[in-house]
């Protein structure tokens, strides 16, 4: 048994990110938005879990000679993980005050909700696997324009959801409005079950529909919605107004429409204002306006205070494996903690990266999922992950 454990540990230590060795593991990147008044707006870093060398890997440092933008570089000595971060999108890309970001893995899509311009834009991501670096490989596509867009989420099918805090509305853009499909209209499964994985995005401007709204659907459980998350069945959001009355965290349904409203359920009533939300299996994690990070089960029940140590907690993201990342805006850090908890309980947060900016929203991009090489194996793996969390 000891020999087997040692062998597993040795194999894990031998693995590197990318195609350069037999023990390769998928490259995993953390993306984060910064609404600060600096040129860089969306950033990325290679996560330590990718097990690439922290100081010699090309993605782990930013060459100061390659750019004159001080905000686009960082001294590796200030980064707890020794992994530096790099600007992926800047103000010259049409961004003003990006709040929410989300990744559509199967199609390598990056969505950004810009509160400054009132637009949702999409780019396609590309990776140089030899250096483990990312870049946008397309011009921006405007998905929506017209209101105060803030937080966004994408499910595995490709449905896009976003919140409008000013009008207390949750919107949806259906996957079949965004992605080309080869199924004919006469097919019984058209269009939801064949989106040509990895698929191609369409060029027409998609339609936007209301899922829940304080005014249009008379849903009182929507009150200045902040962060939101999806799991293919539910859309879960946090309210930034009257949270202890109408719901700090509310669980709705992706298939709810203005004409056929499915009544949402309050699953937490412990804080007035909620900012970031993320889902990991059967657990929902969310942050308040002060210093707290909480956890609750999807069905509700007891609320656990995961941490009280942050200075300005905002967005969080699950890596699809065993880690949750959370942005500490005022502290200028991204922290992490284990996601696969049997019982929700306080955790000691680990510093992942420290910066001179204020991180807001987070997303994790894993190239193995994005390549979508073996659809069946990906589905089986995802089912195993969900099942294991459900059993816990």
In a domain, 7, yes or no: no
- C-alpha distances (whole Å) from 308 to each of 13, 157, 216, 349, 362 are 33, 35, 37, 10, 20
In a domain, 73, yes or no: yes
Copy the structure tokens of residue 91: 């103000």
pLDDT at 293: 98
For the ranges 42-56, 276-290, 343-357, the lowest mean pLDDT is seen at 42-56
Mean pLDDT for the stretch of residues 3-22: 44
Q: What is the pLDDT of residues 267-307, one digit of tens each?
A: 999 999 999 999 999 999 999 988 999 999 999 999 999 99
Q: What are phi and psi of 145, to 5 degrees?
A: -155, 140
Please state the pTM of the whole predicted model. 0.82
By C-alpha distance, which of 165, 172, 192 is closest to 181? Answer: 192
- C-alpha distances (whole Å) from 174 to each of 20, 190, 251, 258, 278 are 38, 13, 19, 14, 21
In a domain, 339, yes or no: yes
| Residue 379 host element (H or E) | helix 375-391
Q: How many CB atoms neighbour CB 92 within 10 A?
A: 8
Q: How many CB atoms neighbour CB 27 within 10 A?
A: 27
330: domain CATH number is 2.120.10.30
Q: How many CB atoms neighbour CB 287 within 10 A?
A: 31
Average pLDDT over the chain, rounded to whole? 81
Q: Are 88 and 44 in contact (CB under 8 A)?
A: yes
| Residue 277 host element (H or E) | strand 274-280
In a domain, 142, yes or no: yes
pLDDT at 185: 62
94: Cβ–Cβ under 8 A, 6 or more apart, which residues? 114, 117, 121, 140
187: Cβ–Cβ under 8 A, 6 or more apart, which residues? 194
Q: What is the pLDDT of residues 182-210, one digit of tens each?
A: 666 666 655 555 555 566 898 889 999 99
pLDDT at 57: 33
Please classify residue 159 by burial: count the beta carbons closer than 10 Å to its beta carbon, then call 0-12 exposed, 13-18 middle and 19+ buried.
buried
Calpha distance 53→39 (Å, rounded): 28
Helix (H, G, I), strand (E, B) or coil at 27: coil
Q: What is the pLDDT of residues 113-123, one digit of tens each?
A: 999 999 999 99
pLDDT at 171: 97
Highest averaged pLDDT of the listed ranges 11-15, 174-178, 189-193, 265-269: 265-269
In a domain, 11, yes or no: no
Copy the structure tokens of residue 66: 């390659």
In a domain, 3, yes or no: no
Tell whether the model's pLDDT for residue 257 goes beyond 90: yes
Please classify residue 260 by burial: count the beta carbons closer than 10 Å to its beta carbon, then call 0-12 exposed, 13-18 middle and 19+ buried.
exposed
Look-up of token digits 């979508």: 372
By C-alpha distance, which of 317, 300, 320 is closest to 386? Answer: 320
Counted domains in the chain: 1
Copy the structure tokens of residue 266: 């309050």
- Domain of 259 in residue numbering reads as 24-391
In a domain, 5, yes or no: no
In a domain, 17, yes or no: no
Calpha distance 371→197 (Å, rounded): 9
């Amino acid at each position: 048994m000891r020999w087997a454990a040692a062998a597993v540990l040795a194999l894990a230590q031998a693995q590197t990110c990318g195609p350069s060795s037999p023990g390769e593991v998928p490259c995993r990147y953390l993306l984060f938005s910064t609404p600060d008044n600096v040129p860089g707006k969306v950033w990325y870093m290679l996560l330590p879990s990718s097990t690439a060398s922290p100081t010699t890997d090309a993605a782990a440092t930013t060459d100061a000679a390659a750019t004159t933008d001080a905000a686009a570089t960082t001294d590796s000595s200030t980064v707890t993980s020794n992994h530096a971060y790099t600007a992926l999108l800047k103000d010259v890309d049409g961004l003003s005050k990006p709040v929410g970001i989300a990744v559509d893995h199967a199609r390598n899509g990056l969505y950004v909700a810009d509160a400054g311009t009132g637009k949702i834009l999409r780019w396609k991501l590309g990776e140089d696997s030899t250096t483990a670096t990312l870049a946008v490989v397309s011009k921006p596509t405007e998905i929506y324009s017209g209101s105060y867009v803030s937080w966004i989420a994408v499910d595995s099918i490709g449905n896009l959801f976003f919140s409008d805090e000013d009008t207390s509305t949750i919107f949806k853009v259906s996957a079949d409005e965004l992605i080309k499909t080869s199924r004919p209209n006469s097919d019984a499964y058209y269009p939801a079950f064949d989106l040509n994985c990895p698929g191609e995005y369409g060029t027409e401007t998609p339609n936007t529909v209301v899922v829940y709204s304080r005014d249009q659907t008379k849903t009182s459980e929507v009150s200045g919605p902040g962060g939101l998350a999806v799991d293919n069945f539910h859309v879960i959001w946090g309210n930034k107004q009257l949270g202890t009355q109408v719901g700090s965290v509310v669980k709705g349904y992706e298939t709810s429409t203005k004409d056929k409203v499915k009544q949402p359920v309050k699953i937490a009533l412990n804080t007035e204002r909620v900012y970031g939300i993320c889902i990991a299996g059967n657990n929902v994690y969310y942050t308040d306006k002060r210093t707290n990070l909480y956890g609750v089960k999807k069905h509700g029940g007891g609320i656990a205070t995961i941490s009280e140590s942050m200075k300005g907690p905002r967005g969080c993201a699950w890596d699809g494996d065993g880690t949750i990342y959370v942005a500490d805006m005022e502290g200028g850090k991204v922290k992490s903690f284990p996601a696969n908890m049997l019982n929700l309980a306080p955790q000691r947060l680990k510093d992942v990266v420290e910066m001179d900016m204020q991180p807001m929203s987070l997303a994790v991009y894993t190239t193995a999922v994005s390549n979508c090489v073996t659809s069946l194996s990906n589905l089986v793996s995802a089912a195993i992950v969900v099942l294991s969390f459900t059993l816990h």
